[in-house]
Amino acid sequence: MSPQPRIVRTLPALHRAVARLRGTHRTIALVPTMGALHQGHLSLVRLGRRRARGVIVSIFVNPAQFAPTEDLASYPRNLAADLAVLAGSGADLAFVPATETMYAPGFATTIVPGGAAGVALEDKFRPHFFAGVATVVTKLLLQCRPDIAIFGEKDYQQLKVITSLARDLDLPVKILAGPIVREGDGLAMSSRNAYLSAPERAVAPTLSRVLMDCADKITGGAELAGVLERGRAAIEHAGFVLDYLEARHADTLQPIGSLQDGPIRLLVAARLGSTRLIDNVAV
């Protein structure tokens, strides 16, 4: 286990490093990130270390998944802090490409996913998002050539989109899900939590509390529509501007009518001040 991951920035350097890392039939795990690393990311690195011999962490703030109105310019970037977080984590390699490396002049190809990318959740509010994600993830998988790639369940719709992407395009990689890591008060760890003011941070765990309460009630046999209606009201009463609170089939993300219709995932997105938070929980 390397105490400090080796940093590579260019594709030739990456390919040389991957060849050395693989050695003789070594397995490699990739953990794609946009930086601003926290314990949730480290849990994915640890999962990669358990499942593979070598671990690559990519750090790239992908402009293709931000709309002009979103927070690309203000998205937290601190490579020194990220590398300090990774020290001793088990990551062997940090791939830190420039935007020009990922999107060279004349770049003109975009992957537009279907299926779980078009179910009126994140795609309804961020219609540009999954094409940007699918394109950059495909590039990272081809560049790093991992055996395993690990994505967190907090971005649950994204996880389903990427799982389908790898399957549909016959990419030779296994997509693994890392469980959500939460703060002590239940708030899902996220790089965007740093945007919250102190009063907003105190309110933010309402999202996870409402999700857990809804899941308990549904499991106990309460009628789904009524549970969701009361959950939405509780979130808005706490001061959020709600984008959605939905119960969906855990695999397809299609709308679901009752507990008997299949495994359920509850998903929520809401704004608190200028910060948009998402969360989800299994029923």
What local confidence, expressed as pLDDT, does residue 71 receive? 76
What local confidence, expressed as pLDDT, does residue 49 receive? 95
Is 25 within 8 Å of 51 (Cβ atoms)? no
Mean pLDDT of 144-152: 98
Mean pLDDT of 126-132: 95
- Indicate the pLDDT class of residue 195, thresholds 50, 70 and 90: very high
Cβ-based neighbours of 249, under 8 Å, separated by 6 or more: 255, 256, 261, 262, 263, 264, 265
Average pLDDT, rounded, for the chain: 95
List C-alpha distances in Å: 131 to 76, 114, 120. 22, 9, 15
- Judge whether residue 193 has pLDDT over 90: yes
- Indicate the pLDDT class of residue 244, thresholds 50, 70 and 90: very high
Minimum mean pLDDT among 59-73, 221-235, 261-275: which range? 59-73
What local confidence, expressed as pLDDT, does residue 25 receive? 67
Mean pLDDT of 221-235: 97
What local confidence, expressed as pLDDT, does residue 2 receive? 53
- Judge whether residue 1 has pLDDT over 60: no
Catalytic residues, by residue number, are 41
User: Position 4: which residue type?
Assistant: Q
Q: Residues 78, 70, 155, 130: is their CA dihedral positive or negative? A: negative
Model confidence over 8-39: pLDDT tens digits?
Answer: 999 999 999 999 999 866 899 999 999 999 99
- Judge whether residue 44 has pLDDT over 70: yes
What local confidence, expressed as pLDDT, does residue 102 receive? 98
The predicted model scores a pTM of 0.95
Please tell me the distance from the alpha carbon of residue 270 to that of residue 100, in angstroms, as a whole number. 33
Which residues, in sequence order, are bridge partners of residue 271? 241, 276
What local confidence, expressed as pLDDT, does residue 206 receive? 98
Q: What is the SS3 assignment for 104-129?
A: CCCCCCCCCCCHHHHCCCHHHHCCCH
- Judge whether residue 160 has pLDDT over 60: yes
Please tell me the distance from the alpha carbon of residue 176 to that of residue 172, in angstroms, as a whole number. 13
What local confidence, expressed as pLDDT, does residue 77 receive? 87
- Indicate the pLDDT class of residue 69, thresholds 50, 70 and 90: confident
